[in-house]
Amino acid sequence: MFKKRRSFLERLTGSIALEDESDFEDLEESVDTLPQERGWQEVEETGDLAVDMHQTANEIVIHAMVAGVKPEDLDVSISRESVTISGKRSEQKQVVEENFFFRELSWGSFSRTIILPQEIEAEEAEAIERHGLLTLRLPKINKDKVQKLKVRIG
């Protein structure tokens, strides 16, 4: 008849109070169900890519560590306002899982979109990879530059 009011902690954390063990068993069964059995599709997680970005008088420079990524697995997309770096690190499955002491390296897909602080000349940008360090050099658009045109007689 009356619905029990959830405690502050339950509302804050989104948890629920279980009255008896049967509630726990129902909850446990729903958690044990595979995502495919629930009609969900598994989505491959995409990791973030750490970057450094700075500027000089004429360009914006972005550095990203892409060690272990094959050039054909690396994609850099540039517009005047943003840069997207994405790729995939393929793990070499040479060690049996139970033989690991530590697993700290990132494997799989990664992606990072960076909104640039200033517009750049996308056509003049360059990307260089050396020893696992990707360097993007993005020439700034000089809005103060005035170009004089010569008038021709037509």
Three-class secondary structure assignment of 118-137: CCECHHHCEEEEECCEEEEE
pLDDT at 142 over 70: yes
Q: What pLDDT sits at residue 12?
A: 64
Percent residues over pLDDT 70 in the chain = 70
Which residues make beta-bridge pairs with 88? 109
Q: Give me the CATH topology for the region 51-93+103-139.
A: Immunoglobulin-like (2.60.40)
Task: Tell me what the mean pLDDT of segment 50-69 comes to.
Answer: 93
Cβ atoms of 60 and 125 closer than 8 Å: no
Instruction: State pTM to two decimals.
Output: 0.62
Tokens of 106: 């990132």
pLDDT level of residue 68 (50, 70, 90 thresholds): confident
Q: Which residues have CB under 8 Å from 50's CB, separation 6+?
A: 64, 65
